[in-house]
Amino acid sequence: MAVVQRGSSASLLHALVAVCAFCWALTVRSVEGQSQTGQLSVDASPQNARKIPDNMFGIFFEEINHAGAGGLWAELVSNRALTKLLTGFEAGGPNTPSNIDPWLIIGNESSIIVGTDRTSCFERNPIALRMEVLCESKGTNVCPSGGVGVYNPGYWGMGHGFRKDLASMLANLKPQFLKFPGGNYVMGNYLRNAFRWSETVGPWEERPGHFNDVWGYWTDDGLGFFEFLQLAEDLGASPVWVVNDGNAIVSEYAVTGNDAGKGTLVAALAEAAFLIGLEKNSDVVEMASCAPLFVNDNDRRWSPDAIVFNSWQHYGCPNYWMLHFFKDSSSATLHPTTIQISNYDQLVASAITWQNAEDSYLKIKATIFSFASFTD
């Protein structure tokens, strides 16, 4: 994928009116090594331009792969309210201690220890943190009736509780809308396990939580309806609430299989070609988003995903970085493009202009959705 971006303190849009067209030479090389040279033209005249909808590109959050519980929602203890429906091999019941499940239990089963030890690697940081949670269902050391919680400082203050590094990955995409709380997650495999917004508001210890039977794990609904609204507001995105109304969605397009793997460059380029098509048809297509956003590397339920994380690291897959090429497209001006190259129809391109308080910009995107390569 190629991007040309230009900006100046003078208004580039005025220059576009005078110039009216840009041309670039492109060379396409097939897998057999054969090359063809063509021309990419951009019609920059305002009479042929068209505005892209303000909310064209956004993000779609679903509680899958522990994206929220133990992920973006920075609560580090699973089943913190001690209410989870336990399986047969777990302790539970009115007279038996319930489990608080971390990703890893260190030590004996009578205690849970969260430890951080950096002394072996960093001489200047001789810091070790150890925390034990020891409680019983009865006796002198009773577990807190409201549950327990351990979480990182919130991205926008402790009142929010979002994990800073993961929230920053979302903010960097400049999403214009936040679709939440999911797709299949909303309806559940069984109606009793559907997402009910009214049970996800109020003090978290009073939220009953529910079993995410679509993706196979419990969520305490600490990341509830109100928290999603807070996230949308802080991202500067419009909230799009997914409601279980009994209708199926048929407008999903997925890149999966061997070519996609856990997130490959080939799949990202194919998605880029698709999104360029959405840009060029934005007079019909009003909104588009990518899902799943997150995957906890300890509990992968779907591949590929945009952002991979564990308890202390994260990285963006190729399709996450591909989305950056479209983060300025919402409300931008789309200009017609023409590709002149013989016997080749797998090269697509788009051109947009937009401006901020300081400059005006032109961005040209071009990609091939095959195994060929090209240079400009």
Q: pLDDT tens across 331-353, in order?
A: 999 999 998 877 667 789 999 99
Percentage of the chain exceeding pLDDT 70: 64
Output DSSP code: residue 162: B
- Are 361 and 12 in contact, with CB atoms under 8 Å apart? yes
Q: Is the pLDDT of residue 356 over 60?
A: yes
Q: Which of 127, 93, 74 is nearest to 312 (CA)?
A: 74
For residues 363-367, give the mean pLDDT: 91
Q: Is the pLDDT of residue 313 over 70?
A: yes
- The tokens describing 194, both together, are 């559907």
Distance (Å, rounded) from C-alpha 198 to C-alpha 213?
19
Position 295 scores a pLDDT of: 95
Position 74 scores a pLDDT of: 76
- pLDDT category of residue 9 using cuts at 50, 70 and 90: very low
Q: Which residues contact 150 (CB under 8 A, 6 or more apart)?
A: 75, 76, 77, 114, 131
Position 10 scores a pLDDT of: 41
- pLDDT category of residue 86 using cuts at 50, 70 and 90: very low
Distance (Å, rounded) from C-alpha 275 to C-alpha 122?
45
Mean pLDDT of the chain: 77
Q: List, for residues 252-280, the tens digit of each pLDDT value.
A: 677 667 777 888 888 888 899 999 999 99
- The tokens describing 282, both together, are 């934005």
Check residues 175 and 76 and name the one with the higher pLDDT. 175
Position 104 scores a pLDDT of: 52
Q: Which of 98, 59, 67 is nearest to 214 (CA)?
A: 67
3 state SS of 131: strand
- Are 84 and 159 in contact, with CB atoms under 8 Å apart? no
- Are 59 and 289 in contact, with CB atoms under 8 Å apart? yes
Distance (Å, rounded) from C-alpha 227 to C-alpha 252?
26
Position 92 scores a pLDDT of: 37
- The tokens describing 123, both together, are 């001489």
For residues 83-98, give the mean pLDDT: 43
Domain range summary for the chain, segments of one domain joined by +: 2-52+332-375, 81-150
- pLDDT category of residue 163 using cuts at 50, 70 and 90: confident
Q: List, for residues 38-70, the tens digit of each pLDDT value.
A: 788 999 888 899 999 999 999 999 999 999 988
Distance (Å, rounded) from C-alpha 179 to C-alpha 164?
20
Q: Is the pLDDT of residue 219 over 70?
A: yes
Q: Is the pLDDT of residue 285 over 80?
A: yes
Position 298 scores a pLDDT of: 86
Position 158 scores a pLDDT of: 45
- The tokens describing 34, both together, are 């054969």
Q: List, for residues 119-149, the tens digit of each pLDDT value.
A: 445 454 444 445 566 667 677 777 666 565 5
Position 125 scores a pLDDT of: 46
